[in-house]
Amino acid sequence: MDNIVIFKVVGALLIIFGIVLAANPELISNKPVPNDIFKAVERRIWWGLFIGFGLLLQFHYQLVPWQATIAATLSSLLVGLLIARLIGIILDGSVAKQWLNVGIELVILAPLIWWYLKVRT
């Protein structure tokens, strides 16, 4: 039981860390903000991996069965990237290519969630 609490606390910290850095990547990086809106949003995306790992620790605690772990890992990482992308769209502006990427990520996410729910039971 104590391990689950530790996973949830670490997960919450990773989510907060990822959201803060996705919202303000200049806290760590000294690269200038690109003038191109697409590139400005893209610089925030990789911080979504922290959000995704945090989400994984919030709801998935075991390694076995392997299929459920793989599906949970891929779907939570993709959700984290999607959250970071949406933060970037809100803060930097919207371009059609970013919304295309959001749509592609949602299309990829749907079968991953279905797979997780199927193998979990």
Average the pLDDT over 3-8 and give the result: 91
Contact by Cβ (8 Å): 56, 62: no
Name the maximum alpha-carbon separation found in the chain: 49
Q: Taking 90 as the threshold, does the pLDDT of residue 120 lie above it?
A: no
In the prediction, which pLDDT does 35 show? 92
Evaluated on CA atoms 27, 13, 59, 74, the torsion sign reads positive
Count of C-beta atoms within a 10 Å radius of residue 89: 18
Q: pLDDT (tens digit, 9 = 90+) per residue, 8-63?
A: 999 999 999 999 999 999 999 888 888 999 999 999 999 999 999 999 999 988 88
HEC string of the chain? CHHHHHHHHHHHHHHHHHHHHHHCHHHCCCCCCCCCHHHHHHHHHCCHHHHHHHHHHHHCCCCCCHHHHHHHHHHHHHHHHHHHHHHHHHHHCCCHHHHHHHHHHHHHHHHHHHHHHHHHC
- Domain residue extents for the chain: 2-120
Contact by Cβ (8 Å): 88, 41: yes
